[in-house]
Structure 1
Amino acid sequence: MSTMSTAWTSSPVLALSVGQIRRRPAAFAGLGAALFLAMATVTLFGSLVAAQATAPEAVARTPVSGPGVMVIAAAFGEIAVLVALFVVVNALGFTVRQQHRDLALLRTVAATPRQVRRVVRAQVLATVLLTAAPGCAAGLLAARFFLSALQRRGMAAPGLHVSGSPVPVLVALGVALLVGLAATAVAARRITRPAPAVALTGETGGPRRTGVPRLFAGAAVLAGGVLLLRLAATRPAGELDKAGQASLLGSLVLLVAVALLGPSAAWATAAVLGAPVRALVPRAGWLADANLRGYAARLSSAVVPVALLVGLSGTMLIMTSTAERVARATGAATSVTKASDIWLRQAELGLLVCFAAVSTVNTLVALTADRRREFALLRLVGATRRQLLRMLTAEALLTTAVGVLLGAAVAAAATGAFSRAVRGTVVPVVPGAGCAWVVLGAAVLTVPGIVGTGLWASGGSAVESAGGERG
């Protein structure tokens, strides 16, 4: 055992890690994209903070329109970095899931849980280092463009510029490493916790019950979100800005609750939506409905990114429309209705949509590709590719509908509280065209991702796929 321990502490760990990356480039591409966005985001807002902090006193004290670069960077960065890190943790979970069988096999040949975790940590380290240079370079470039846009609108001092300080880059690299390595322990737990034989035969995407601690955590977060929305709803009508901040923060907290309570919420929503699908397409609809409800954890993983996209986008669009209606009625301009601040929220929304889109595509491709063996078994019992296509289309539409409904519920709660504070009614002003584009965008990301990946995963020899490893 001492010889094996010595071997595992040196090059074999790196060799195994690099071998897995070469063998499964698609699995690590999603993690790489998430890390790229995360490091670019931290570098972007860190560079803006550094630019303001290191500016000469005369430049730093130049009066500007709006809250200033430091406040903008902090407000943007707080939300964007949290969402980016969520996307990284989610992508890492799927990367490890797709290696479930390989990592479990290592344990059957005497690898310890600690050694398996070291393999995964080495993979994360290698992926971070590969994406560090392009991610940080993109962040620096974006910081210069963003600062120029702020200066054109008078929201930043003309003499301010992005310096060449390495601090934002080092902070971005450190944050990516800390989050990735911390998430490794959670992601590898399902492989390292059980006995080797159990880990090898364990189902990577099968039905799992939501744990009691997760239910309690979800209930606590949900209660916190409700309290925030109650706070937003009870703000005086003149404090429109504070009501908007509390409502937006409440929507983020509710989306975290949806992620924690996802399996139960997704199963209940799918049970309601499954009936009309079964009636419209009896065979494919029945199978799609059974797949989604039978694998609630898998469904939850698929719908949470869609709910994130719809919930954040819908909340910001509806809040802006409601605030503009109030401003037209009262003639009072606030930071919610000023043109420059509307541009800021649009920029923030665009950034969040990028994160949500990456998370949605990564999740759906990983989940669907992991079902290769399931598709092969269906083909062996007589299912044709056309029938699989119908089933996948029904699943994609159901998944989209569940995610849209959960996200819309969050947006409705948040904007209802905001509207109650500023208009005296819980019915906000809904921009129909904007919300329709949000739903269409969710469908465009979801349906092709599931159907296209499913058709790819169902190709090849059904016998070989049914007998081989999953994913």
Structure 2
Amino acid sequence: MVLLALGQLRRRPAAFAGLAVALLLLVATTTLFGSLFATQVTAPEAVRATPVAGPGLMVIAGAFGEIAVLVAFFVVVHAIGFALRRQHRELALLRTIAATPRQVRRLVRVQILATALAVALPGALAGWCAAHRFLDALRDRGMAAPGLRVPVTPLPALVAVAVTLAVGLVASAVAVRRVSRIAPAAALTATATEQGRTGVPRLLAGVCALVGGGLLLRLAATRPPGEVDKAGQAALLGSLVLLVAVGLTGPLTARALVAVLGAPLRALLPGTGWLAEAHLRGYARRLTSAVVPVALLVGLSATMMIMTRTAEHAAGPTGAASATDVWLRQAELALLTCFTAVSTVHTVIAVTGERRREFALLRLVGATRRQLLRMLTSEALLTTAVGVLLGGAVAALASAAFSAAATGSAMPSVPVAACGWIVAGAAALTVPGILGAGLRAIRGPAAEQAVGARD
């Protein structure tokens, strides 16, 4: 199984590229904030006692690290589930030739471990360098003592790699459960089409995430005016939990939104519009794979933007807001946007690229390349719209909770232009990615691709 797993990695590196990037981001992020903690802990007492502007290095590292590591964790779990979904047919074939469920799980574990170890060193180096740059930026703004230095110790990197391996193993155990436990013949048949129903455990987990996100937003809304920073952290964490709920309940939610949004598209494009909507509704899990990163990008970015503008307006009369607070929020926004943008680009390209056989069959029954591109354009627009609506709904709830704590009103100050740029950015990442991968997927003879072209 070890040789087979490593052979899969060598033969289909594109299938694991997104997972490798996600794991690298998790290693780098954990190393970054672990190094900042080590910087403060190992500093001399006189340096630690130096007064600084802002909340201090430990508070900044804790607040940044909490959200950034959770977002990276979410991206990794999503990438692992997607990478394994692309291997369902191969795993099912192994089951038909007498591979046991334990052997299939061992193969997946080896793949995850090999990918994580391959990115461990570059991820740790990237995190250590980022810690230096981040600490320099804090010192330049007076938010860190001049005498602080990032220590040369492997401990943060080792902890980061251990955390990444643990996350990968747990996520892979959950993702591979479906293929490894069902009968071999049923496993092979299940790869041909998506199952029509979302499992009860997944729905229950989604409901629990919705409840947990709602409780966090209630906690944010009830914080006193003097604890605006805590309200912001609770609101941002609540938005992330709600986005997890979106991912868990996505097949149902996304299908319903496509049915509503697809009506005007069918009226404008009776042929390709209907086909695009039918594909998205029929493959709800595939749609969810593409929608969740878009919703994550829009939800977190819009939440940060709106909370920042609301805090600035709330502090305007008293002058309580400072340039350091604004810079910290902007830095956190840039970090989160980087994670979600990488996840969005990889996912939409991979989801479209794996549809070669589907496109070939459509060409064999008479569809032209131009018609397929029109269908893909419709799908890209619908996918973007669904992701923007779901992310926007989460951002609206989270920013309303924060506004209630900061201003006493649930109506936040919305930077319309900035939010418009967020939507435009999501479309710029999604639509060209889908169309570019689609153009590549429909190249070549249709008959050869219909036989079963694989990555």
The answer to whether TM tops 0.5 is: yes
CA contact 1:288–1:395 (8 Å) conserved in 2? yes
Equivalents in 2 of 1:351, 1:263: separation in Å? 28
Q: Structure 1 residues 237 and 71, CA, compared in 2 at 3 Å: closer, same or farther?
A: closer
Equivalents in 1 of 2:103, 2:297: separation in Å? 37
The match for 1:144 among 132, 143, 153 is: 132
CA deviation vs aligned residue, 1:298-339 (integer Å, no higher than 9, x gap): 2122111111110111011011111211222x3140xxx321
Please name the residue that 1:282 is paired with.
Answer: 270
CA deviation vs aligned residue, 1:431-464 (integer Å, no higher than 9, x gap): 1121111111101111111111122122222222
Helix, strand or coil: the match of 2:50? Answer: coil
RMSD: 1.6
Please name the residue that 1:331 is paired with.
Answer: 318
Please name the residue that 1:465 is paired with.
Answer: 449
TM score, norm. by length of structure 2? 0.96
Amino acid at match of 1:81: V
Amino acid at match of 1:19: G
Please name the residue that 1:407 is paired with.
Answer: 391
Please name the residue that 2:326 is paired with.
Answer: 342
Equivalents in 2 of 1:164, 1:462: separation in Å? 56
Please name the residue that 1:243 is paired with.
Answer: 231
| 2:149 aligned with 1:170 | no
| 2:226 aligned with 1:230 | no
The match for 1:430 among 409, 414, 424 is: 414
Amino acid at match of 2:283: Y
Please name the residue that 2:426 is paired with.
Answer: 442
Equivalents in 2 of 1:229, 1:261: separation in Å? 19
CA contact 1:40–1:139 (8 Å) conserved in 2? yes
Work out the number of aligned pairs and report it: 455
Gaps spanning 5+ residues in structure 1: where?
1-12
CA deviation vs aligned residue, 1:249-290 (integer Å, no higher than 9, x gap): 221221122112111111121111111111222211111111
Please name the residue that 2:352 is paired with.
Answer: 368
Helix, strand or coil: the match of 2:162? Answer: helix
The match for 2:343 among 329, 338, 359 is: 359
How much does 1:204 deviate?
Answer: 6.2
Equivalents in 2 of 1:262, 1:103: separation in Å? 25
The match for 2:249 among 253, 256, 261 is: 261
How much does 1:238 deviate?
Answer: 4.8
**Counterparts of 1:120-131 in structure 2 under 5 Å?**
120-131=108-119
How much does 1:430 deviate?
Answer: 1.0
CA contact 1:17–1:123 (8 Å) conserved in 2? yes
Q: Which moved more, 1:209-218 or 1:79-88?
A: 209-218
CA deviation vs aligned residue, 1:17-70 (integer Å, no higher than 9, x gap): 221112111111111111111111111111111111111111122111112111
CA deviation vs aligned residue, 1:103-153 (integer Å, no higher than 9, x gap): 222222222111122111111121112111111111111000000001111
Please name the residue that 1:109 is paired with.
Answer: 97
Helix, strand or coil: the match of 1:160? Answer: coil
Please name the residue that 2:34 is paired with.
Answer: 46
How much does 1:230 deviate?
Answer: 2.7
The match for 1:312 among 300, 306, 318 is: 300
Please name the residue that 1:5 is paired with.
Answer: none
Helix, strand or coil: the match of 1:282? Answer: coil
Identity of aligned residues (%): 69
CA contact 1:310–1:404 (8 Å) conserved in 2? yes
How much does 1:160 deviate?
Answer: 0.6
Please name the residue that 1:452 is paired with.
Answer: 436
The match for 1:417 among 377, 401, 413 is: 401
Please name the residue that 1:64 is paired with.
Answer: 52
Q: Which moved more, 1:346-355 or 1:455-464?
A: 455-464
Please name the residue that 2:287 is paired with.
Answer: 299
CA contact 1:357–1:445 (8 Å) conserved in 2? yes
Equivalents in 2 of 1:105, 1:205: separation in Å? 15
Helix, strand or coil: the match of 2:366? Answer: coil
| 2:213 aligned with 1:220 | no
Q: Structure 1 residues 94 and 228, CA, compared in 2 at 3 Å: closer, same or farther?
A: closer
Gaps spanning 5+ residues in structure 2: where?
none
Helix, strand or coil: the match of 2:271? Answer: helix
Amino acid at match of 1:411: A
Please name the residue that 1:190 is paired with.
Answer: 178
